Amino acid sequence: MIRLDNISKQNGHQILFIEASAALQRGEKVGLVGPNGSGKTTLFRMITGEEQPDEGQVAVDRGVTIGYFSQDVGEMSGRSAVSEVMDGAGPVSTVATELKELESAMADPGRADDMEGIVARYGEVQARFEELDGYALEGRAREVLAGLSFSQEMMDSDVGALSGGWKMRVALARILLMRPDAMLLDEPSNHLDLESLIWLEQFLKGYEGVLMMTSHDREFMNRIVTKVVEIDGGTLTAYSGNYEFYEQQRALSEKQQQAQFDRQQAMLAKEIKFIERFKARASHAAQVQSRVKKLDKIERVEPPKRRQTVTFEFPPAPRSGEDVVSLNDVHKSYGNRTIYDGLDLVVRRKERWCVMGVNGAGKSTLLKLVAGSTEPDDGRVSVGGSVKMGYFAQHAMDLLEGEQTVFESLEHSFPQAGQGSLRALAGCFGFSGDDIEKRCRVLSGGEKARLVMAKILFDPPNFLVLDEPTNHLDMATKEMLITALSQYEGTMLFVSHDRHFLAALSNRVLELTPDGIHQYGGGYTEYVARTGHEAPGLRS
């Protein structure tokens, strides 16, 4: 359906692709992977025709429709969310518009003379609309929006009043409703809660066209893709299998390449030693010359490209008392909506609670109550003795001083720390080279999240309260964070939609449901085994 033939592409001084080739066939579900800045978004834009390769060609079969979801959703306002979604449904939307115009024309007495032609055209358009299943369009639009966690009220409200994250979901719903032959999804898992993520996973598994997507959620990627295309050093390499299989194959291939490189280096060293030893002896001149020619002809094996892996080790956190935080008979409402009606919870030292619940269940509210950023209407929240809390919330990213550089921001927070240790900290969280001179106001969401997390973890608290800490983080930073937190000696209370993060770090689950609040010993994996579902309100 889609072919990339020997494409080369350069952006400024950066070479993205050198004679790279790949093919996408109907029914394939492809994960596109590569380091940040390697050209994933550029590749999508070349397939849609928004950008052209410098050399080579991108060939799309005649008649193939492409739906492209990107992080840049543009302006939306003036229409309901459901209307906005229906408008993106491709040909059926155009046909629906013409149908409405013809209905108006038939009701217009001033066009009586044209009525025969109008009625005939209406019949043709109506037949086409039925063929495209147009009458079910609004129902399907609402079904998709409900899958992405929209309430009926939100579906019918002005899309302009929604936050950026919800507008992203509207843009994603447009592509899903469109049912194109090829879907290109750039980070569709960003901004989704766990329930929406699992719904999207099922939707994409049932999609019959060609799918190519990027995602920083390894579990999501692993469950959907059947092929991985990797961008590495300007080339495209395809691996059959899911993301986990790709990782194994890549590690094996690196190991084999390293062994080949080592063998060749040993052989070259031996030959060079012989040449150096005998080059001055006339008796060995022919042999030396022969070996020099042989070396010139040898195709050199390159060492495997090493992906930069970042590691972060916690300095030991001070020990807290046994009871870290207690909530006694806590009541909390917003307007007429009751969030908590007599909540009791005790978090003890070294416990790692993950908080589960559908949208609006009160996950973030619980974390705010514990952190002290909101007060209960009734009841008591008590933080234990010697507790030093670190609270990561999405709004914390808005509190960064815009004019400070990344390095100045770290220096401001830790004036006693040496420059070397702050640079090492910045490097662990993905700020290397000139990145540390970027001003905070120009940082992306992911960069801001990494900077805030770095500040929290440099001088570690013994109680971490984390609200969606992995939003915007790429896979490498997420893996670093999981590795670091798995060695953390303190206590944790967190909300996350990342199942890999949940499974790796939790040892307790607090489930918020309309039927009440349930506590489970054991982590997320045990919760799934015991309840039979991956998130509250879902059945497996």
pLDDT in tens, the chain (540 residues): 899 999 999 888 888 999 999 999 999 999 999 877 788 999 999 999 999 999 999 999 998 999 999 877 777 888 889 888 988 776 676 787 788 789 889 988 888 888 888 989 999 999 988 887 778 888 899 999 999 999 999 998 898 888 788 899 999 999 999 889 999 999 998 878 899 999 999 999 999 999 999 998 989 999 999 999 999 888 999 999 999 999 898 888 888 888 988 998 998 889 888 888 888 887 788 888 888 888 888 888 888 776 666 676 767 888 999 999 999 999 999 988 899 999 999 999 999 999 998 877 899 999 999 999 999 999 999 999 999 999 998 777 778 898 999 999 999 999 999 898 899 889 888 888 888 999 999 887 778 888 998 999 888 899 999 999 987 788 888 888 898 899 888 999 999 999 999 999 999 999 998 888 999 999 999 999 998 888 886 644
Give Dmax (Cα) for the chain: 111
pLDDT at 12: 81
Q: 323, 346 in Cβ contact below 8 A? A: yes
Question: Where does residue 533 rank: exposed (0-12), middle (13-18), buried (19+ CB within 10 A)?
Answer: middle
Q: Which helix (H) or strand (E) holds 121?
A: helix 115-131
Q: Are 188 and 172 within 8 A, CB to CB? A: yes
Supply the pLDDT for residue 540: 42
User: Edge-to-edge strands of the sheet including 2-11?
Assistant: 14-24, 2-11, 55-60
- CA-CA distance, 44 to 188, in Å (whole number)? 14
User: What count of residues does the chain have?
Assistant: 540
Tokens of 331: 């009541």
Separation CA 456–CA 435 (nearest Å): 19
484's CB contacts (< 8 A; 6+ apart) are 311, 312, 313, 314, 457
Per-residue CA distances from 138 to 156, 157, 179, 217 (Å) = 12, 15, 14, 30
What is the spatial distance between Cα 329 and Cα 311, in angstroms, rounded to a whole number?
A: 42
Query: Quick one: tokens of 59?
Result: 């060939």
With contact defined as beta carbons under 8 Å apart, do 129 and 96 qualify?
Answer: yes
What is the spatial distance between Cα 264 and Cα 388, in angstroms, rounded to a whole number?
55
DSSP 361: S
DSSP state of 80: B
Contacts of 60 (CB under 8 A, 6+ apart): 1, 2, 47, 66, 182
SS3 of residue 236 by DSSP? strand
Helix, strand, coil percentages for the chain (3-state, nearest 5): 45, 25, 30
Please list the alpha-helical segments (H only) found in 372-474.
406-413, 419-428, 445-458
- Could you give the CA distance from residue 317 to residue 137 in angstroms, rounded to a whole number? 56
pLDDT of residue 212: 97
| Measured CA distances, 482 to 312, 421, 477 (Å) | 10, 21, 9
CB 80 within 8 A of CB 157: yes
For 160, residues 6+ apart whose C-beta sits below 8 A from its C-beta are 76, 77, 78
State the Cα torsion 22-27-29-30 to the nearest 10°: 0
Q: Which helix (H) or strand (E) holds 342?
A: strand 337-348
For the sheet containing 337-348, what is the strand order? 337-348, 323-334, 378-383
